[in-house]
Amino acid sequence: MYKIPLFDLNFDEKEEQAALETIQSKWISTGPKTAAFEAKFAGMLSVKHAIALSNCTVSLHLALKLVGVEAGDEVICPSLTFVATVNAIRYVNAVPVFGDVVSYENPTISAEDIRKKITPKTKAIIVMHYGGFACDMDTIMAIAKEHDLKVIEDACHGPLAEYKRRKLGTIGDVGCFSFFSNKNISTGEGGMLITNNDDYAARTKLLRSHGMTSMSYERAKGHSTAYDVVELGYNYRMDDIHSSIGIVQLDKIQADLEKRAEVRTAYLNALNDVSGIIIPFADYTDFNSNYIFPIVLTDGDAERRDAIRAQLAEAGIQTSMHYPAVHHFSIYQEFASELPVTDFLVDHLITLPMYSKLTVEQVNYISETLKKLI
C-alpha cells in the first residue's frame, strides 16, 4: 500500500533455510540453536551471559525480579517509551515514577529529573536508549551508586550500539533486548536478557522455564532424568526455530547498521537546514543502531503534526510516532506527573522510514515531500 514503508525486514533465503534446517532436525523447542544464538549474542556484546527469552517484555519482567524489585517499590522510568517498559514494573506490583526526557534534541530520560524523583522507596531505574541513542549513562550510574539503586537498560532499540565504546545493555545491572519483527534484529517474537552477574544469569535460566532445575533438551540428551521446581517460574523460553533465524540475523547486523548509518547521513544532508524541524541527536558521534529516524516539529500542535503525517501517507510514505506518552494512557493516569518536555514531544514527533535497504533517492523524496509540507 505504501510506496515507502516505515520499516522493511532484512530477510532473504538464509533465514528461510535456517528455519527449515531446524524444523528438519526435529528439535524445534529450546535447544542447541538457542544455546548457539545466546553464545553468539554474548560474544558480540562482550557480556558474560545472554539468555534468550520469548520477548523483551518478559525480559524486563525478569530483570525487575532479579534486581529485587518488590510490591510497593518505586521504579523511575521514562514515559516516552513503548508501554511494555512500564507494564513490566506493574507485573511485580511496583510503582512507576515517570522521569522527563532531557530536551527536544535528546529524548532520553533526564538524569537531573531522575535525581529529583528519588524517594526512600526508589529501588531501581529503567532507562530506555531511544532509537539506539544512549542515555547519559555516566551520570545515571553515578546517581544509582550514590543511592544504592539498580539500573535496568531497555536496549530494545540498540543492539551493538555504543556509549563511550561500551555496548548498550552492558552498562547497568541487566540489559533487555527485543527481536520483534520491526526491531534491528528480527525473529518474529523474541528477546534476550544480558548480564555480567552469574547469579542473575542462573536465576534467569530457572525463571524462564517454570523454576525447573533442568530443561527438556538436557533430559532428551540424557544429561538428567529428573528435575525439581525450586522457585515459581514462568514459560518465557525462546525456541530453536526463532533462535536459528536470530543467528542469521546476527551475521547480518553489523552490515545492516552501517547501511542505516548511511541512510541517516542522507537524511541529515537533506534536512539539515530546514527550519521548523529539529533532528534529535544531530551531533551524536557514538556508534549507533539507527533503529528509527525521528524528527521534531518546532511549531503547531498535534493536529498539525497529524495532518502532515496524513499528507505524507497520501504521498505513499508511511510514518509513525515513537511514542504516545505512557502517562497519558488510561491505566497510567494515576501515576502521571508533570513532564513538560515529554508532553511537547508527543505532539510534535514524527518517525520517518528507516531501514538498511532505503535508497538515497527515497530519502530525498521523503525529505522533499516533508519540506513542502512544512
Ligand X SMILES: *Cc1c(COP(=O)(O)O)cnc(C)c1O
- Which amino acids are annotated catalytic? 183
Tell me how far apart the alpha carbons of residues 57 and 61 are, in angstroms, rounded to a whole number.
Answer: 6
Kindly report the backbone phi and psi dihedral angles of residue 151, in degrees, each rounded to the nearest multiple of 5, phi listed first: -125, 125
Rg of the chain (C-alpha set): 21
CB of 214 to ligand X, least distance (A): 26
DSSP codes, 301-351 = -HHHHHHHHHHHHHTTB--B-S---GGGSGGGGGG----HHHHHHHHHEEE
- Residue 323: asked if its preceding bond is cis (omega within 30°), the reply is yes
Give yes or no for residue 55 binding ligand X (CB under 6 A): yes
Kindly report the backbone phi and psi dihedral angles of residue 74, in degrees, each rounded to the nearest multiple of 5, phi listed first: -100, 140
Piece of the chain touching ligand X by CB under 6 A; list 71-79, 80-88, 293-301, 310-318? 80-88
How many residues form the binding site for ligand X (CB under 6 A)?
14
Piece of the chain touching ligand X by CB under 6 A; list 44-52, 53-61, 211-219, 228-236? 53-61
DSSP codes, 100-164 = PBS-SS--SBPHHHHHHH--TTEEEEEEE-GGGPPP-HHHHHHHHHHHT-EEEEE-TT-TT-EET
Piece of the chain touching ligand X by CB under 6 A; list 50-58, 90-98, 307-315, 345-353? 50-58
Three-state helix/strand/coil letters over 208-257:
CECCECCCHHHHHCCCCCCCCECCCCCECECCHHHHHHHHHHHHHHHHHH
Binding mask 152-171 for ligand X (x = CB under 6 A): --x-xx--------------
Query: Could you count the other beta carbons within 10 Å of the beta carbon of residue 150?
Result: 19
Q: Which residue, 55 or 209, is less far from ligand X as judged by CB?
A: 55
Please select the residue that binds ligand X; options are 64, 84, 127, 363, rule is CB under 6 A. 84
Three-state helix/strand/coil letters over 47-76:
CCEEEEECCHHHHHHHHHHHCCCCCCCEEE
Give yes or no for residue 239 binding ligand X (CB under 6 A): no
Residues 111-130 that bind ligand X (CB under 6 A): 128
Piece of the chain touching ligand X by CB under 6 A; list 40-48, 150-158, 312-320, 340-348? 150-158
Please select the residue that binds ligand X; options are 57, 108, 249, 356, rule is CB under 6 A. 57
Give yes or no for residue 81 binding ligand X (CB under 6 A): yes
CB of 321 to ligand X, least distance (A): 13
CB of 357 to ligand X, least distance (A): 21
Q: Which residue, 27 or 260, is less far from ligand X as judged by CB?
A: 260
Give yes or no for residue 191 binding ligand X (CB under 6 A): yes
Please select the residue that binds ligand X; options are 27, 41, 82, 98, rule is CB under 6 A. 82
Give yes or no for residue 354 binding ligand X (CB under 6 A): no
Tell me how far apart the alpha carbons of residues 200 and 214 are, in angstroms, rounded to a whole number.
Answer: 17
CB of 292 to ligand X, least distance (A): 9
Piece of the chain touching ligand X by CB under 6 A; list 39-47, 78-86, 94-102, 139-147? 78-86
Give yes or no for residue 267 binding ligand X (CB under 6 A): no
Query: Could you count the other beta carbons within 10 Å of the beta carbon of residue 274?
Result: 14
Binding site for ligand X (CB under 6 A): 55-57, 81-82, 84-85, 128, 154, 156-157, 178, 180, 191
